[in-house]
Amino acid sequence: MTVVPVSAFVALGANLGDAAATVRQAITDLGTLPQTRLVRASRLYRSAPWEASGPDFFNAVAEVATLLDAHALLAALHGLEQAAGRERPYLNAPRTLDLDLLLYGDDHIATPSLTVPHPRMDQRAFVLRPLAEIAADKVSATTLAAVAAQDARPL
55 DSSP assignment:
S
Residue from 86, 107, 120, 151 carrying the catalytic annotation? 86
Q: Count each helix (H run) and each strand (E run) in the chain, helices first.
A: 4, 8
Residue from 98, 129, 137, 151 carrying the catalytic annotation? 98
Q: Give the Cα separation of 19 and 9 in Å (integer).
A: 20
Q: Is 86 a catalytic residue?
A: yes
CB-based contact 116:6 (threshold 8 Å): no
Residue from 29, 100, 124, 129 carrying the catalytic annotation? 100
Q: Is 129 a catalytic residue?
A: no
Say how many CA atoms lie within 13 Å of 18 toward its Cβ.
Answer: 5
Q: Is 106 a catalytic residue?
A: no
CB-based contact 122:128 (threshold 8 Å): yes
Query: What is the end-to-end Cα distance of the chain in Å, rounded?
Result: 44
How many other CB atoms sit within 10 Å of the CB of residue 143?
15
Residue from 95, 106, 122, 151 carrying the catalytic annotation? 95
Catalytic residues, which ones?
Answer: 86, 95, 98, 100
